[in-house]
Amino acid sequence: MNRLARRFLYILLAIATVLAIGTVGFTVIDHFSPFDAFYMTLTTMTTVGYSEIHPLSHAGRVFNSFIIVFGVTTLFVAIGTMTQTIIEREFGDTLAQRRNKRMIDNLKDHFIICGYGRVGRGAADELQHAGVPFVVVDIDPERVERAVLAGMLAVAADSTRDETLRRVGVTRARGLVAALATDADNLFVLLSAKGLNPKIFAAARAAEEGAEEKMRRAGADAVFAPYALTGHRLAQSLLRPHVVQFLDFTTHDIGMDIAIEQVRVGEASEMVGRSIRDMQIGREVGVIVMAIRKHDGRMVFNPPADTAVEGGDYLIAMGRQENLGRLEALLTEPDRR
């Protein structure tokens, strides 16, 4: 049952309940016939103003006072609800579009997902789970409706066009996912997005062999081939099942508050120049530093305890969410000396 049908059902139930209570009440209190009791209740609810069908006792007048208050209120609410429903049906699409436009105009440092197919849905679900702002763009209205029903901000438009990307705030966006059906469309998206915002981080889906290099030349910061990744993962599950289980543990929500996060070391942080041993990250913060991406691009795996961190480095750490938050606060806190 859709929302409109439920709304009318609730209205009918509310009116029928008041009519039933009034009919029974007048029948029991002043011994009206069932039809007279029903008619008395109806004229009271609709404020028609006819005189009483039969003289009411003191108890009957008290009961009628309650019918006036609750019955008239129920009827007015029902009329208001039906009016709202009619307006929504007539102007709902326009109002929704304006609301979406206002929400998109207020977005900043958000992500854009171009394409809401299987890959795009997976990316959108992950961003939604992370609680970061993002907008979905797909040319198929049914997919857009599906995204909206999932609680996402979505627009039905062609994401390969510059005006569409401007509409969803590409110049203010932090990152973009190109997950359209063809490599050609994804290349168009990359060229348009990087042309409008050269600083945006762009991740793209590549379906065909050889497309990865073209997408990187078009400006993609990360390119993923779903079919190649799936085949590699299947083989790894046969050869190294425990490794795959560990990766699933760290990258999927399995009901435990554990995650892998990248935490940037601020240039003004008091931790700059200190080693992992000096910071006591494992003992004091309760996280495991798995790697450090140095500010010059080098990746240091399983860094020794005497490894010093510098401003602009990223620590790849695993731990509970609250401990990762403490680590971020520690590494971004400015030096008070």
pLDDT value for 254? 46
Residue 283, class by beta-carbon neighbours within 10 Å (0-12 exposed, 13-18 middle, 19+ buried)?
Answer: exposed
Lowest mean pLDDT among 27-36, 117-126, 215-224, 283-292: 283-292
CA distances from 321 to 88, 143, 259, 260 (A): 42, 32, 7, 9
Whether pLDDT at 337 is above 50? no
Tell me: the pLDDT tens digits for 56-81? Answer: 888 988 898 888 888 888 888 888 88
pTM above 0.75, yes or no: no
In the chain, where does the domain assigned CATH 3.30.70.1450 lie?
A: 256-332
| Confidence class for position 11, pLDDT limits 50, 70, 90 | confident
The string of DSSP codes covering 278-291 is: HHTIIIII--EEEE
Chain-centre distance of CA 303, in angstroms? 36
For residue 235, the tally of other CB atoms under 10 A from its CB is: 11
Please give the CATH number for the structural domain made up of 256-332: 3.30.70.1450
For domain 107-224, the CATH superfamily is NAD(P)-binding Rossmann-like Domain (3.40.50.720)
Question: Is 3-103 CATH 1.10.287.70?
Answer: yes
Averaged pLDDT of the chain = 85
> Quick one: how many helices (H) and strands (E) in the chain?
12, 10
Q: Residues of CATH 3.40.50.720 domain(s) within the chain?
A: 107-224
pLDDT for residue 141 is more than 60: yes
Following CA atoms 324, 326, 328, 330 in sequence, which dihedral angle do they give, to the nearest 10 degrees?
-140
266 closest CA partner among 304, 309, 316: 309
Distance CA 98, CA 226 (A): 36
